[in-house]
Structure 1
Amino acid sequence: MQKIKGSTQFRAAWWRGAVIYQIYPRSFADSNGDGVGDLPGITARLDYVASLGVDAIWLSPFFTSPMRDFGYDVADYCDVDPIFGTLADLDVLIEKAHGLGLKVIIDQVYSHTSDQHAWFAESRSSRDNPKADWYVWADPKADGSPPNNWQSVFGGPAWTWDARRGQYYMHNFLREQPQMNVHNPEVQEALLGVAKFWLDRGVDGFRVDAINFAMHDLELRDNPPAPAGNGIRTRPFDFQLKVHNQSHPDIPAFVARIRALTDRYPDRFTVAEVGGAEPDREMKAFTAGDAHFNSAYGFDFLYADKLTPALVREALENWPAEEGIGWPSWAFSNHDAPRWINRWAPEGARDVYARMVMLLFLCLRGNAIIWQGEELGLTQVDIPFDRLQDPEAIANWPLTLSRDGTRTPMPWKADAPHCGFSDHTPWLPLGADHAALAIDQQEKLSTSMLNATRDFVSLRQSNEALRSGDIRIIEAQDSILVFERKGAQQTLLCVFNLGSSSINWTPEQPDKWRIIETLNAADRWEIGAYGAVVAEAII
């Protein structure tokens, strides 16, 4: 690799173009030897995270929970589950992160709670208690069947009968995750109170989970059937168009209330998770102007079978630098989506391909969210059925790919028990090849994926055009992807070869460009398989 760092140090808002490192607390580092990662374990490893050069960490849920969906079923929004530690442990984590120059972003789950939450216990106790309307309740049809045909994401009807109220309650996910009635102003106030609790405690922002599920159709109309597609339908949920149980037009008004609160605190950041078949409209609505979320979390790459220039073009061109259009955030993998290295990397060329993908990722316009282990080239693990933890995978086995395979523990030391993650058998097994990818092994090699990631993050942080500049796609066909990043003080040309054969791609004025980064490029514009060139315009 060849690198000449850019000279510009321009900075917009800290989050605009930020590199964010997602941490799954259960699987990052175990400090007390119970086989499950925890907050003190994260704190002890923050120096490693800071060494990557990232701007922030995003912590997946650590709240009090019965762990039916591993923290996304919240039983107490304002406390830490004992398996992860205490509020005091979180305070120490935040203080150390800030001391290292790292912002701290946490998940917020506003569409549902656990059925163990005190709010739901009160709501289900009667039809006339103070929280009776805090969740979505409905009478049965005359024949006793559920109020409508809505289906849950994890399989089966989105309704569960509750004898105490003589009604059904709604749940878009597990039956243990009852749907909140976010139409209710009291519910909105309670959720804003949760956000304020964490802002006052020093967190720097929120990733808001499944926000497009936050409100439902008050008339409870049936969803229409989905047209037959080419994919395998593994759940009843796949047979419907989800037009009434989610994506309500009143959601942006609630988003604006969240933004108004976060704006009372300096330098806070909000990013929305918006999934679904056609999320673009909602993502734009949830990030429009200066009154909604700062960013939205794109799903374009998370489940793609193949990385192509056309896919990159389509994803980036959906987020033009125009007035009123929000700022995108990208991830190639996460705690729900299978690792991209297994989906995309060709056999026999995994290492060089992985470096090319990481460089491409960090050259895109938008925030770059690195899922823990991506910087190591960590692979997806095939979890046997008897070790599965993921409720969706268990319910739909073997057709639904387990989320567990991407959530496996971090390998810290190749020769230590369980690769240094824990002294105890971990809650999920490590992959057979993970010891060879362990951090202590990669630290020793200047050419490792870990050190390549550090180089590419540094390149992004050192060049204003990569961090916050506009993007213009020049070519995106076959295996060639070429785009220009243009900032206020700098223009960069980024050329990627996504194919297995060498290419020669020369700009119209080659002498105008000074190459600042190369990957598998033998000559100035002769780019080998899975290679890349990044060049700066000479002023």
Structure 2
Amino acid sequence: MSISAEAVATSDKSQDRDWWRGAVIYQIYPRSFQDSNGDGIGDLKGITARLPHIAALGADAVWISPFFPSPMKDFGYDVSNYTDVDPMFGTLSDFDGMIAEAHRLGIKVMIDLVMSHSSDQHPWFIESRSSRFNPKADWYVWADARPDGTPPNNWLSIFGGSAWHWDPTRMQYYMHNFLTSQPDMNLHNAEVQDALLDMTRFWLKRGVDGFRLDTINFYFHDKELRDNPALDPSRRNASTAPAVNPYNFQEHLYDKNRPENLEFLKRFRAVLNEFPAIAAVGEVGDSQRGLEIVGEYTSGDDKMQMCYAFEFLAPDALTPERVVETQHAFSAAAPEGWVCWAFSNHDVIRHVSRWGQEVLDRDSYAKMLSGILLSQRGSVCLYQGEELGLTEADIAYADLQDPYGIQFWPEFKGRDGCRTPMVWDAQALQAGFSTAERTWLPIPVEHQLHAVSAQYGDPSSVLEQYRRFLAFRKAHPAFAKGEIEFLPVEASLLTYQRHHGNETILCIFNMSATSVSGTLPAGEWEALEGHGFEAARDGKNIELPAWGGFFARQV
């Protein structure tokens, strides 16, 4: 059997253990990416068919949200079998075909592991709840009631109410940080850790290149079950949970963020190191200590390669000052660490809507934000549809699927607005996503107008700007690997330099709806082309249009 040059190149690339540093990772929400069988729900064969779009965009890897067997109470984040594919999404053979096609196109594949909790339909939990003395009795977090029958402590669920649910068979409470149908696993039990690490090896042997770890800071709880203290109202914010959720009223010292997690992450990293060039990114869900925890989890080379926190997923407006403060805070909290930045994902309002409610020129605004995200120090996650400039969809209550939104409606409308199906063809039924008469979530008309087919090849489109800038990023290693140095903020101008080797690149963004004048810093600067932004330059003076950008190399 002969091996093609392409296969050799792919194999050589796969041996680069540092591929993740500065990588651009494209998140796929499988229910909403592409439906291949006409049932109105996306699937693995659909993902395979659309991988060329991601390759043409210029992303280095994909992160695929859960596709495992599940009752779908939380749409796959409630896993009932960790080593198979839900029939809704296809088969293990379909998964293998998707991996093969991604690798043929030079795309790494990362999958979403949910290890803090499972579905209550998982055989492990069914056995655990059957009695107090079965072999898996201690695989989940169980506790006796207080003498008055109330839960063992004051811990709260992110999805509302107590984090404890009464089980009449065991006559005990079990812990659930999310839905009552998502019981928390007891990672203090070494057998649980071993089972989860064996599951990790299962997917590594099938060829995945890495993982996104869901709620990575929720793995351990305080063995003493101590009450969380109240959080000072001045420190509350809505980045971990919506503002209407009392979850924000506590300082979560004991139900998550436990120090025992560091040793487990070392065990997990050791499993990754059994295979070549594997990487993982952890989701740190904590609005008070997020960056500090990222620093702990990514320090050294024996835990996570990278984590992402919620600083840029929060509702707070994005300003030059906020970008600078966030990067400085990360540098202080994680001097040895590496971060993966994201502006949008499947859990938050799409950033063009979240930050741009008053913006009239949404496309120019989206382009400017893409340039900022893709030129920061760190790796990057792009969420499907972000490259089209999609806004948050307005979903009617009757069409809601997300239990989180149903619980807190109408003050919080849930996550369905960012999860609507991808739009491929502006002229086709269901925008080319599906041939079904009805899709699992409705497709907004305004999204269909921004479909891939309507933007592809149009140099003024958001899609083509993403493609241009990703190529520009790859042409200059300073963006992926370099250090970052911020210059003082002037007016609405965000200015920083990226340094790598002998190259220094100047980046200036006008984060306002009006043109702004600025002055280049000391030194000789050669304007760079190919990034898609325009600015007028007269010697040291530049004029940036609304939402404009300027890039130059120091000579």
Tell me which residue corresponds to 2:319.
308
Deviant stretches of 4+, over 4 Å = 229-233, 321-324
- Describe the SS at the equivalent of 1:319: helix
- Please list the CA deviations of residues 372-392 of structure 1 after superposition, one character each: whole Å capped at 9, or x if unmatched: 001000111011111111111
Provide closer, same or farther for how the CA distance between residues 505 and 265 of structure 1 changes in structure 2, counting only shifts above 3 A.
same
1:379 paired with 2:427, answer no
Cα deviation, residue 212, structure 1:
0.8
User: Contact 2:455 / 2:462 at 8 angstroms: preserved in 1?
Assistant: yes
1:521 paired with 2:535, answer yes
Tell me which residue corresponds to 2:138.
133
- Which of 372, 387, 390 is 2:402 aligned to? 390
- Describe the SS at the equivalent of 2:488: strand
- Which of 346, 349, 357 is 1:338 aligned to? 349
Tell me which residue corresponds to 2:13.
none
1:476 paired with 2:493, answer no
- Correspondence list, 1:207-222, <5 A: 207-222=212-227
The worse-fitting range, judged by mean Cα deviation, of 231-240 and 51-60 is 231-240
Tell me which residue corresponds to 2:430.
418
In structure 1, C-alpha distance between the alignment counterparts of 2:403 and 2:444, rounded to whole Å: 21
TM normalised by structure 1 equals: 0.95
User: Contact 1:289 / 1:323 at 8 angstroms: preserved in 2?
Assistant: no
- Please list the CA deviations of residues 464-494 of structure 1 after superposition, one character each: whole Å capped at 9, or x if unmatched: 1111100000123541110000001311000
In structure 2, C-alpha distance between the alignment counterparts of 1:511 and 1:151, rounded to whole Å: 56
Structure 2 regions of 5+ residues with no counterpart? 1-15
Tell me which residue corresponds to 2:188.
183
Tell me which residue corresponds to 1:431.
444
- Counterpart residue identity of residue 466, structure 1: F
In structure 2, C-alpha distance between the alignment counterparts of 1:477 and 1:125, rounded to whole Å: 64
- Correspondence list, 1:399-418, <5 A: 399-418=411-430
User: Contact 1:464 / 1:489 at 8 angstroms: preserved in 2?
Assistant: no
Provide closer, same or farther for how the CA distance between residues 130 and 491 of structure 1 changes in structure 2, counting only shifts above 3 A.
same
In structure 1, C-alpha distance between the alignment counterparts of 2:470 and 2:528, rounded to whole Å: 17
Tell me which residue corresponds to 2:459.
446
In structure 1, C-alpha distance between the alignment counterparts of 2:389 and 2:523, rounded to whole Å: 33
Equivalenced residues, count: 529
Cα deviation, residue 315, structure 1:
1.7
- Please list the CA deviations of residues 307-357 of structure 1 after superposition, one character each: whole Å capped at 9, or x if unmatched: 101111122123339996111100000000110111223432212111111
In structure 2, C-alpha distance between the alignment counterparts of 1:339 and 1:530, rounded to whole Å: 18
Provide closer, same or farther for how the CA distance between residues 462 and 426 of structure 1 changes in structure 2, counting only shifts above 3 A.
same
- Which of 25, 29, 51 is 1:24 aligned to? 29
- Please list the CA deviations of residues 56-81 of structure 1 after superposition, one character each: whole Å capped at 9, or x if unmatched: 00000001100000011000011101
Cα deviation, residue 282, structure 1:
1.3
TM normalised by structure 2 equals: 0.93
Tell me which residue corresponds to 2:276.
266
User: Contact 2:70 / 2:81 at 8 angstroms: preserved in 1?
Assistant: yes
Provide closer, same or farther for how the CA distance between residues 322 and 223 of structure 1 changes in structure 2, counting only shifts above 3 A.
closer
Tell me which residue corresponds to 2:299.
288
RCO greater where, 1 or 2, for CA within 8 Å and sep 6 or more? 1
Percentage of matched positions with identical amino acids: 49
In structure 2, C-alpha distance between the alignment counterparts of 1:508 and 1:244, rounded to whole Å: 48
- Please list the CA deviations of residues 382-409 of structure 1 after superposition, one character each: whole Å capped at 9, or x if unmatched: 1111111111110111112320000000
In structure 1, C-alpha distance between the alignment counterparts of 2:265 and 2:480, rounded to whole Å: 26
In structure 2, C-alpha distance between the alignment counterparts of 1:509 and 1:314, rounded to whole Å: 23
Tell me which residue corresponds to 1:297.
308
User: Contact 2:154 / 2:162 at 8 angstroms: preserved in 1?
Assistant: yes
Provide closer, same or farther for how the CA distance between residues 512 and 396 of structure 1 changes in structure 2, counting only shifts above 3 A.
closer
In structure 1, C-alpha distance between the alignment counterparts of 2:533 and 2:353, rounded to whole Å: 21
In structure 2, C-alpha distance between the alignment counterparts of 1:321 and 1:169, rounded to whole Å: 38
The worse-fitting range, judged by mean Cα deviation, of 243-252 and 499-508 is 499-508
Coordinate RMSD, CA, aligned:
1.7
In structure 2, C-alpha distance between the alignment counterparts of 1:74 and 1:354, rounded to whole Å: 35
Cα deviation, residue 518, structure 1:
5.6
- Counterpart residue identity of residue 112, structure 1: H
- Counterpart residue identity of residue 329, structure 1: C
- Counterpart residue identity of residue 161, structure 2: G
- Correspondence list, 1:43-82, <5 A: 43-82=48-87
- Which of 252, 258, 265 is 1:248 aligned to? 258
